[in-house]
A and B are shown apart, each in its own frame.
Chain A
Amino acid sequence: MTPDRGSAFEIVAREDYSDVTYMLEIRHPMMAKAAKAGQFVIVMEHEHGERIPLTLADFDPAKGTITLVIQAVGKTTREMQQNCRVGTFLHAVVGPMGIPSHIGSAKKVMCVGGGLGVAPVFPQARAYARSGAAVYGVLGFRNRDVMFWEDHFRSVCDEVVVCTDDGSAGIKGLVTKGMEQVLAAHPDIDEVIAIGPPIMMKACAEVTRPRGIKTVVSLNPVMVDGTGMCGGCRVKIGEGIKFACVDGPDFDAHQVDFDDLMARLGRFKPTEQEALKKWEESCRMGGAEVGPADRE
């Protein structure tokens, strides 16, 4: 094996938002300059690691860093939670990948983020705010303890609605309830951007479909290379098949076949669980909750 060692990717900052969610800031001046809202990267933690796609949560051309927010659900993301400290290096970070989000001429935009999806929707909220649009943020979390980045959104949004499952912060209920609340006050919203677990994005699409509001979702299916070469990330959009890595990751929510997406996200579930179990045994830490095979 002759991987080039010159291209190590240093972690320069880390923050933990909860016991499963953590933020990594990685030095990559070139990508920080090139990245645009809606794009993603593929990360490999170590030489034997798998390649996992992660949507960019932020990028700072001045500092020369990119930001990822990661949820520890599978073997790789938990291992990263344990090993990725400030000053350590990732084996591979490639990107920015995918077609950047189209920041159109919409005047009133609602940005909906559910759970981990709060992070990747932030660059789009900021881009719309910079384009002069009025931005309404709807952020959904399980409870108060796992909340993050409310301040980020407050700094770019005209209004922010926080929803929690148990009502420990903001309104009690799912993001769809928050969306209804915003839509009641602002029925003239031009565009909705929703990022989160597939089931949430599906529900968001159903809120806007009867109202005929353009809705964009960002899909993150299982992929290997991220350059269109493997076709693992193919998704059903309307009648056609698209590759999320090069034709997306943004798609018209009203055209996406979410059931198909959810079925395909479980492709490697048995193998993934085996890997996680083996890893947990090797760390002697068992007993942790096993989340869905969601990549984010």
Chain B
Amino acid sequence: MAKKKTIRTIPQERTPMPEQDARERARNFKEVACGYTLENAMREADRCLQCADEPCVRGCPVGIDIPAFIQKITEKHFHGAYDVITDTNLLPAVCGRVCPQENQCEGVCTVGDSLEPVAIGRLERFVGDMAIREGWVNLPYIEPSGFRVGIVGSGPAGMACAADMAKAGCDVVVYEAFHEPGGVLKYGIPDFRLPNEVIDVEIDKLKQLGVRFECNTLVGRLFTVEQMLTEMGYHAVFIGTGAGYPSFMGIPGESLNGVLSANELLTRCNLMRARDFPKYDTPLQPGRRVAVIGAGNTAMDALRVSLRLGAEKVTCVYRRSKAEAPARAEEIHHAGEEGVLFHWLTSPVELLGDDRKRVRGMRCQKMELGEPDASGRRRPVPVPGSEFEFECDSVVYAIGTNANPILGQTSKLKLNKRGYIDTDDSLATSIAGVYAGGDIVTGAATVIEAMGAGRNAARAMKAYLGLRDTAVVFEPEAPWQGRRFGIALGEHGYARLRVV
């Protein structure tokens, strides 16, 4: 054993992420962050103190044993690191890229108290990418339980739930309305943040667990949730359809051509590959001067996609200040580096059109911050007489989404007053056997929160089906040291109905 590390002996500076040059990357769809090299990863792993109270594990929505996997990296036992992560997280290459670690594991890291926190996300991605390159798959031994589980939506919540239910021996079918599985990971998050190949690898892993994907299936309309439980013979159903009904502001000019939601821009560009028009047929009229309203992660994606589609000037319009912007600091920083302009404390009041009903500009007013509102953020108040106009030929709305109405229209599921699905603490809905999680329950949130919800729902579904959490059954001093076939015995034992 090496001598005990202290805050003074570890490398003081956080290892920087190798990145594509800002000017170059703003014109291509290749990944911005290239990923740690072996040396980078070894050095950064060395910064972890292996502290006793492990705040990072509690900070992780799925509870990855972070110190353990980092320890494996320092030992150059990378497959071991992968085993540790995949005990709780099926998608390290995805989460390492898109989790807001600064608010989760890295936000509470002990090293972060005095230095910059350990780059946990980057290390996770390093392990995930290596697993993809090397073709590692941890396939558990699965005992069929005889239960059938239907999952509505193939995004992060559905994928996480599918993985857990498949490991518990259930026959799992995932339904997706689009022609490809992946949900928001495919249509929403652009390739330069999360390449589609990475998602496809993760989906293939689910298929190897026995999960089946049925695309081109709009649940609610092709068959209802109730029919899944009755005619189709599913013993439990999980709903992870996402929020998906973009908001507009209701100001004049929103139906002008050239005004669209970030969802539409991103879907056309990412999933439908309009950026490769005319090789792909989906059209997209990219603007030369694009204004994006909102400052969340989706807004940053829309801004940076617009740049890569060839826009000359891309402006972010947000009614609060940079400090209140919901996007990750890293995303705002990247966008700024690539040449995005920011109009903070600015709110659009009207979109201006030309005689051909195309948008030609935006009238805005300046705002100032007043008293804190219900969200705890200071409420923006208009500054009288501060109106100004600027020219743009495309306006993208990225101000959030409302609840998608399809399942509410077609089932007896109880909805809350905002139209999202009402669940109890275990994510059970008003219909017995039907669980829901992710954005369709909480409203728009992050990929990892959706995955966490998918796993929590899976836990409740296993309890509902009587698939006992046998982690309590296995003696800790079992001769196999708690692991077999790459998974923890607790997890493995879900399939076994054993009573203490």
Contact = CB atoms under 8 A, between A and B. Distances in A.
B280 interface: yes
A3 B203 CA distance: 11
Contacts of B409: 99, 246
Contact of A243 (B221, B245, B357): B245
A202 interface: no
B101 interface: no
Contacts of B267: 224-225, 229-230
Contact of B264 (A3, A4, A224, A266): A224
Contacts of B203: 2
A34 B222 CA distance: 6
Nearest to B179: A92
Interface in A228-243: 228-232, 234, 236, 241, 243
Contact of A228 (B216, B272, B406): B406
Contact of A232 (B200, B222, B260, B273): B260
A31 B218 CA distance: 10
Given A94-B216, A229-B245, A229-B404, A51 B272 contact: yes
Looking at chain B's contact residues, is the secondary structure mostly helix, strand, loop, or mixed?
loop
Interface in B34-76: none
B204 interface: yes
A51 B187 CA distance: 14
B244 A227 contact: yes
B221 to A, nearest CB: 5
B438 to A, nearest CB: 14
Nearest to A267: B257
Interface residues of A, number: 52
A48 B277 CA distance: 10
Q: Give the contact-size bracket for chain B.
A: 35 or more
Contacts of A263: 255, 257, 357
Interface stretch (A81-89, A183-191, A268-276): A268-276
Contacts of B216: 7, 92-94
Contacts of A267: 257, 285
B179 A44 contact: yes
A125 to B, nearest CB: 22
A215 to B, nearest CB: 22
A1 B284 CA distance: 21
5 contacts: A44-B179, A49-B281, A98-B221, A234-B248, A275-B278
Interface of A: 1-4, 7, 30-31, 34, 39, 44, 48-51, 75-76, 91-99, 224-232, 234, 236, 241, 243, 246-247, 260, 263-264, 266-268, 270-272, 274-275, 278
